[in-house]
Amino acid sequence: QQQVKQSPQSLIVQKGGISIINCAYENTAFDYFPWYQQFPGKGPALLIAIRPDVSEKKEGRFTISFNKSAKQFSLHIMDSQPGDSATYFCAASIETGANNLFFGTGTRLTVIP
Amino acid sequence: DTGVSQNPRHKITKRGQNVTFRCDPISEHNRLYWYRQTLGQGPEFLTYFQNEAQLEKSRLLSDRFSAERPKGSFSTLEIQRTEQGDSAMYLCASSLMSMGGTQYFGPGTRLLVL
């Protein structure tokens, strides 16, 4: 059973456009929601993370929007660049427990110059 | 370099052979996690250590898999009697408990079982 559902599976965006990736979860015990970026042949790298006490977090061109009641969160990449082309994973964990991450299935982002 | 390192980066083996992977976490990180990632999927949790204690194991970790973290520093993941279905990227991550959820991943070991 997939604990975190992610969409879309792939996304093509023009340079300068906004990339939006959505995730949903069921387990209300989750209290930590990170996004990871992964390039081919590399391990995932933490991009940005949010906890349920806030509805939005922004770091540079990356913003997480969090809707606790809907159990959904999304990643927005503003002014998308070709260098952002990668696979993005949302994840969730119970930070006070083992904190093992449950990952979504990934979104392959391609930014066209 | 103070990141998570993993060795080897690639491993090709024949079905039935045993393989062992090593992970060196970020210095002083007391938590260490192993994940497995198959093509086109997100990483899946296998097991984790807090210091030298293995505290949780996923159902994915069959009895052919064993992990150790002697002295709470580096960790090894061994797969005995490998099967073609074991072909995947094996990822290691570490975290400092006081830093909350932030896990830092290594580059992974890609295993191909022929």
Q: pLDDT digits over B43-64, tens only?
A: 999 999 999 999 999 988 889 9
Task: Please report the beta strands in B1-108, taking only residues with DSSP state E, as ranges in sequence order.
Answer: 5-7, 10-13, 19-24, 31-37, 44-50, 53-57, 65-68, 75-79, 88-95, 104-105
* Structure tokens that stand for A32 in this block: 């930590």
Which positions ≥6 away from A79 have C-beta within 8 Å?
A16, A18, A61
User: For residue A104, what pLDDT is reported?
Assistant: 97
Distances (CA, A) of A91 to A11, A16, A68, B112: 18, 26, 15, 26
Task: Report the helix count and the strand count for chain A, using DSSP H and E.
Answer: 0, 11
Those residues of chain B that have pLDDT short of 50 are none
Pairing of strands B109-113, B88-95: antiparallel
Position B35, amino acid: Y
Residue B48 distance to chain A (closest CA, Å): 8
For an interface test with B, the pick among A5, A39, A93, A101 (most B C-beta atoms closer than 10 Å) comes out as A101
DSSP class of A1: -
Rounded distance, CA B6 to CA B37, Å? 15
With tokens 């059973």, the residue in question is: A1
User: Closest-CA residue in chain B for A108?
Assistant: B40
Which pLDDT value is given to residue B99? 66
- List of chain A residues whose C-beta atoms are within 8 Å of the C-beta of residue B42: 6, 89, 91, 103-106
Of B31, B42, B48, which has the smallest distance from its Cβ to A103's Cβ? B42
The two tokens of residue A56 are 């939005």
Residues of chain A with pLDDT under 70: 1
DSSP A32: B
Does the distance separating the beta carbons of A98 and B48 come in below 8 Å? Answer: yes
CA distance A32 to B110: 28
Q: Which of B10, B38, B45 to mutate to test the interface with A (most CBs of A within 10 A)?
A: B45
Beta carbons of A103 and B103 less than 8 angstroms apart: no
- Residue of A32, A101, A105 lying closest to B45 (CB–CB): A101
Q: Can you give the pLDDT at residue B1?
A: 54
Burial zone of A54 (CB within 10 Å; 0-12 exposed, 13-18 middle, 19+ buried): exposed
What's the N-to-C CA distance of chain B in angstroms?
A: 34
3-state secondary structure at position A83: helix
